[in-house]
Every structure is written in structure tokens, then in C-alpha cells.
Structure 1
Amino acid sequence: MKKFLIPIGVLIAVIVIIAIMIVPRYNSLVNLDEEVNQKESQIETQLQRRGDLIPNLVSTVQGYASHEEEIFTDIADARSRLAGASGDVEELAEANNEMTSALSRLLAISENYPDLQASEQFTGLRDELAGAENRIAVARQDYNTAVQEYNRNTRTFPGNIIAGIFNFDEKAYFEADESAQDVPDVEFNTNQDDTDGGE
């Protein structure tokens, strides 16, 4: 009987040691995964907030530049693509870049309409859009920081073993097109400077 107790005791000890090593690392990966999900949700919230501004902005510009139909169509297409992109960060980032580019073109067109530039409604919406773009940039940076920490833990030993066993896959960064990201800030400053300079 004692011959069987020793192997069983050793087996139990091995299981306990493995559990002590695995459980904390597993829980850490779960927490990091949840952090990434929460940060992704923040990006989606900020994109939605910006999306809510777009119809008013487009409507205001249309009042002054109704013949610029192509840009209005591009914005509508980008907005619907952005709305349908949830769930995949890479697709969301692409749709966001498309929207940012379309909005930049809309703001560039607005420079051709001094009455629009002087409109308080347009100026207020433009400023709100600038704030939304800044919040999106912060949310994107927070998300990418969380992804970096998560990916580091899933790729380093012993986390990579636990990640492989429990299917903690590497997460994608929210990549923004740098030119699309920079243009709105330049447009806002340029518009304000041009308006001031024109007066």
C-alpha cells in the first residue's frame, strides 16, 4: 500500500507546483486581455462620439457648398464603413483612416467658402471635431500601450507556453496612417490662421 502512496504523493506535489506556476500567469494574461478589450472599447466610444458630430458638420457645409457632392458621398461611405468595422481592430483602423482623410478633404473644401468659415456653427463643430480627434489619438495610444504589455507577456517565457495552451493570441496594434492623423490638426490651425489673416 505504501508503494502506491509515494507515487501519488509525488504526482500531487507536481500538480500543486504546476498549478502554483500556471494560475498566477494565466490570471495575469486574463487581466491583460481584459485591459486591451477595455481600451479598444474606449477607441470605439471616441469614434462614435466623432461620428455623431459628422452629420451636423456635413449639413452645415452643404448649406454653403451643396455642389461638392463627391466629398459628401465619401464621408457617408466612410462613416458606414466605420460603423460596420467593429470587432476587428485592423479593419477599424483602416475605416478610421478613411474617415479622417474624408474629413480633411471636407475641411480643405471649406476654405473656399469665407461665409462658411465665418459661421459660428461651423467653427464650433470644427473645434468639437478637433477635440474628438485628440481624444481618439489618446485612446489609440492607451490601447497600443495595453497591447504592447499583453503581447510582451504572451511572447516571453513562461507566458508564451501558457498563452499557447490557453489560446491567448497576439493582438494587433491600432495603426493609424500618419498623414491622415496629422492633417486634421494642420487643417484646424491653418483654417484659423487663414481666417484671422483674411480679416
Structure 2
Amino acid sequence: MISLLIVFGLIAAVILYVIVTYNGFVTLREKTNEAWSGIEVQMKLRYNLIPNLVETVKGYAKHEAGTFEAVTRARNEAMANDGSPAEQAEAENMLSGVLKSLFALAEDYPELKANENFQSLQDQLSEVEDKIQSARRYYNGMVRDNNIKIDQFPSNLVANAFNFLKAEFFELAEDEEAARKPVDVKFD
């Protein structure tokens, strides 16, 4: 009788562990999805600022059409990218690079740097860049927690049984050293 109670107790403990661990995986998955959504919101704000910035600079630098086309093309490619975090990071790296060239172009036009609209857009873009970095850190933290739990024993048994998968980090490309530098939007 006592051995039967011990067996039922062990079975109940295992079932309880599986339920708690499963729910933990669901929570981590949803927090990771929420964190990715935060990155997407900030990137959309960035995408919306770029056309205004380009139009403001265009008014001062009419003969720089190639730069404007590159910025527009990079923005459109980044917006259209619905791929993995790694693919999105690659598109964002390209966009950051062309934005740097746009701001470098603005250096040649002192009257542009003094323009209130340009200054306002520059400040807004800087703020959005900071929020994107913060959202990336939060997302990568959630991915780390999720992936650790998937790898740890005995929770990995539950992860494998219910097909919980590791998430991808949102990282800059390792071979693009310039992409690791933040977009400089200060002209002071």
C-alpha cells in the first residue's frame, strides 16, 4: 500500500514538473515574441522618419540623387524583410550604412545642419536608434533565457517532447565591423 502511494506520488510529481516546465516554455516563447514585436515597432518608426529626412536633405543637396536612391532602396528592403532575425539584422546593417552616408552628405551643407526640421528629425532618429538598441538587448535576453532552458536538463526533455525550438539572436553581422558602430546623428 505504501509503495503504491510512493509510485503515485512520483508520477504526480513528474506530471506536475512537466506542466510547470511546459508553461515556462510557453511564457518564454511569448515574451520572446513580444520582444521581437518591440523591435519591429521601433524599426517602423525609423522607417517612417527616413523619407522625411531624405526630403529635407534633398532640398539642400539636389545633385546627390544617388545617395537618396540608396537610402530609399535600403529602407524599402529593410521594411519588406519578413525573414529571420539574422536576415532582418543584415537589412538593418545595410540601412545603417546608407544613413551614415546621408549624414556625411549633410556635413557638406552647413545651412542644412542649422535647419530646424533637419535638427528635429535628427533628434527623433537618434531617439529611435536608442530604443532599437534597447529593444534588441531585451529581445536577445529573452532568446538567451529561452535557449538556456531548452538546453538544460531535465527541461530539455520537455522541450524535445513538445517541440520547443531555440530562437535566433538579433545580432549585427560579425564581418561588418563598421556596422557595429552606432549611426552618428550628432553634428555638434
Assess if the C-alpha contact under 8 Å between 1:111 and 1:117 holds in 2: yes
2:99 to 103, 124, 144: 103
1:126 to 122, 129, 137: 122
Task: Kindly state the Cα deviation for residue 180 of structure 1 after the two structures are TM-superposed.
Answer: 2.5
Assess if the C-alpha contact under 8 Å between 1:78 and 1:98 holds in 2: yes
2:45 to 46, 49, 62: 49
Matched with 1:149 is 145
Q: C-alpha separation between the residues in 2 aligned to 1:122 and 1:140?
A: 27
Does 1:180 pair with 2:179? yes
DSSP 3-state at the match of 1:153:
helix
Cα shift readout 1:74-98 (whole Å, capped 9, x = no counterpart)? 1112111111223521111111111
Q: C-alpha separation between the residues in 2 aligned to 1:188 and 1:14?
A: 61
Matched with 1:37 is 33
Task: Kindly state the Cα deviation for residue 14 of structure 1 after the two structures are TM-superposed.
Answer: 6.2
Against the structure 1 CA distance between its residues 15 and 85, is the aligned structure 2 distance closer, same or farther, given a 3 Å change threshold? farther
Assess if the C-alpha contact under 8 Å between 1:100 and 1:181 holds in 2: no
Task: Kindly state the Cα deviation for residue 72 of structure 1 after the two structures are TM-superposed.
Answer: 1.3
Q: Identify unmatched segments of 5+ residues in structure 1.
A: 1-5, 193-199
Does 1:161 pair with 2:157? yes
Assess if the C-alpha contact under 8 Å between 1:43 and 1:139 holds in 2: yes
Task: Kindly state the Cα deviation for residue 13 of structure 1 after the two structures are TM-superposed.
Answer: 6.1
Between structures 1 and 2, the one with greater helix share: 1
Task: Kindly state the Cα deviation for residue 65 of structure 1 after the two structures are TM-superposed.
Answer: 1.0
Q: Report the RMSD for the aligned CA atoms in angstroms.
A: 2.1
Task: Kindly state the Cα deviation for residue 158 of structure 1 after the two structures are TM-superposed.
Answer: 1.1
Cα shift readout 1:14-46 (whole Å, capped 9, x = no counterpart)? 653431121100100100010000000000000
DSSP 3-state at the match of 2:163:
coil
Against the structure 1 CA distance between its residues 188 and 84, is the aligned structure 2 distance closer, same or farther, given a 3 Å change threshold? closer
Cα shift readout 1:117-144 (whole Å, capped 9, x = no counterpart)? 1111111111111111001000000111
Q: 4+ runs of 1 displaced by more than 4 Å?
A: 9-15
TM-score (normalizing by structure 2): 0.89
Task: Kindly state the Cα deviation for residue 63 of structure 1 after the two structures are TM-superposed.
Answer: 0.7
1:6-21 paired onto structure 2 within 5 Å: 15-21=11-17
Matched with 1:138 is 134
1:77 to 64, 73, 87: 73
Assess if the C-alpha contact under 8 Å between 1:36 and 1:146 holds in 2: yes
Against the structure 1 CA distance between its residues 183 and 108, is the aligned structure 2 distance closer, same or farther, given a 3 Å change threshold? farther
Task: Kindly state the Cα deviation for residue 182 of structure 1 after the two structures are TM-superposed.
Answer: 2.3
Q: Identify unmatched segments of 5+ residues in structure 2.
A: none
Larger-gyration structure (1/2):
1
Q: Identical aligned pairs, as a percentage?
A: 36
Equivalent residues, number: 183
TM-score (normalizing by structure 1): 0.84
DSSP 3-state at the match of 2:146:
helix
Q: C-alpha separation between the residues in 2 aligned to 1:87 and 1:36?
A: 16
The aligned amino acid for 1:157 is F
